[in-house]
Amino acid sequence: MLKINFYPDSDKKGLIEAVEGYKKIWLDEAEKIVESIKKVSGLSFVEKEINAVVFEGRSGSSPLCLRASYSYATKKASLVHELCHRLLDGNGLGLPRGQNSSLEHKHLDLVLYDIWIDLYGQLFANEQIAIESNKVQLYKEAWDYALAFTKEERKIEFKKLARTGASTYPKNDNF
């Protein structure tokens, strides 16, 4: 089973409590989260242990950094989102951080939506899509792309990526 060690970035007020929130999510739901990600994506985590830093900033996958001030629901969504990036990276399907991030999010969202639905239901998934889509334009574009497909079409598109790998990504966002 995947182990995640959660650490506060500092002793700044609120970070310890946020770490406890993420720890609780992982303690209660780790097995369910990992199984859902595996079932929907068809991929397994290469890593067996990950360190996560909880701080007040934008969440990211490598290193795993999680925003402290998110609501409990968005903490769950963000943790799953960033773990999916780690999954893609570990299976040779990710890109270097910051490189063609729009395209990588398009691919990620092909499975993320169905993972969120599997874990927490469609209402949760739709609420988190609205939250992500309001963060930055590339997230909105990625969600628009992924949701233009049916569930079965998303599965087919993701399998195409899994067969070809990240090396086939174009050098720009013209996808």
Rounded CA gap, 89 and 74, in Å? Answer: 22
Average pLDDT value over all residues in the chain: 90
Q: Are 165 and 92 in contact (CB under 8 A)?
A: yes
Answer yes or no: is 175 within a domain. no
pLDDT of residue 173: 39
pLDDT at position 93: 85
Q: How much is the average pLDDT of 32-48?
A: 97
Write out the DSSP string of 47-75. -SEEEEEEESS--BTTTEEEETTS-HHHH
Evaluate whether residue 115 is within a structural domain: yes
Domain membership flag for residue 116 = yes
Domain that holds residue 96: 3-168
Q: Is the pLDDT of residue 151 over 80?
A: yes
Averaged pLDDT, 10-38? 97
CATH number of the domain that residue 102 is part of = 1.10.390.10
Q: Is residue 92 included in any domain, yes or no?
A: yes
- Looking at the structure of the chain, the number of domains it has is 1
In a domain, 174, yes or no: no
On whether residue 173 sits in a domain, the answer given is no
**76-103 mean pLDDT:** 84
The per-residue DSSP string of 27-52 comes to HHHHHHHHHHHHHHHS---S-SEEEE
Tell me which range, 43-52, 97-106, 156-165, is most confidently predicted by mean pLDDT. Answer: 43-52
Average pLDDT estimate for 119-137: 96
Q: What pLDDT score does 165 carry?
A: 62
- Please tell me the predicted confidence (pLDDT) of residue 102: 79
Q: How far apart are CA 147 and CA 63, in angstroms?
A: 28
Say if residue 45's pLDDT is above 60: yes
How far, rounded to the nearest angstrom, does the alpha carbon of residue 139 sit from its chain's CA centroid?
Answer: 12
How confident is the model at residue 98, as a pLDDT?
Answer: 52
Q: Which position has the token pair 């395209």? A: 103
Q: How far is CA 97 from CA 34, 105, 111, 144, in A?
A: 23, 12, 19, 22
In a domain, 57, yes or no: yes
Identify the pLDDT of residue 21.
Answer: 97
168 has a pLDDT exceeding 60? no
Identify whether the C-beta of residue 71 lies closer than 8 Å to the C-beta of residue 77: no
Strands 64-67 and 49-55: parallel
Is pLDDT at 100 greater than 60 in this prediction? no
Does the residue 125 lie in any domain?
yes
d(CA 7, CA 12): 12
Between 99 and 133, the higher pLDDT residue: 133
Task: Please report the pLDDT score of residue 162 as a whole number.
Answer: 76
Percent of the chain clearing pLDDT 70 (strictly above)? 90
Rounded Cα gap, residues 108 and 27, in angstroms: 24
3-state helix, strand, coil in the chain (%, to 5): 60, 10, 30
